[in-house]
Amino acid sequence: ETGVTQTPRHLVMGMTNKKSLKCEQHLGHNAMYWYKQSAKKPLELMFVYSLEERVENNSVPSRFSPECPNSSHLFLHLHTLQPEDSALYLCASSQVWTSDTDTQYFGPGTRLTVL
């Protein structure tokens, strides 16, 4: 596997379910990100981890809970979601999130549908 991988690619869940999204980067990067992409809206940054520490949390509801066990893996735990949470969830990684010239590499995303 190369680059940034995400599983599952598609997920349908009810509002009372608990599920997790997984991201893995094979680039040796130190920073990882979760974004939400909704139709016709800009990418919304949700969480940033740098060297396994959460450094940014952009007013995301507590029903989304991130976890970064090591620099290669990132999880997004989901519980009691709402239909408006249906979107494409993208994971990204980069070398140094504080650098002006830092470039983010994205995974293919998980298409989430909440019924």
Partner 1 sequence: QKEVEQDPGPLSVPEGAIVSLNCTYSNSAFQYFMWYRQYSRKGPELLMYTYSSGNKEDGRFTAQVDKSSKYISLFIRDSQPSDSATYLCAMRYGNKLVFGAGTILRVKS
Out of 2, 16, 28, 41, the residue judged to bind partner 1 by CB under 8 A:
41
Out of 2, 59, 70, 98, the residue judged to bind partner 1 by CB under 8 A? 98
Which span sits near partner 1 by CB under 8 A: 11-19, 38-46, 59-67, 75-83? 38-46
Residue 30's alpha-carbon distances to 12, 25, 74, 93, 110, in angstroms, are 31, 10, 12, 7, 22
Question: x/- contact string, 75-94, with partner 1 (CB under 8 A)?
Answer: ---------------x-x--
Is the Cβ–Cβ distance between 35 and 18 less than 8 Å? no
> Considering only residues 40, 62, 69, 84, which one is a binding residue for partner 1 as defined by CB under 8 A?
40
| Region label for 3, one of left (φ > 0), alpha (ψ between -120 and 50) or beta (otherwise) | left
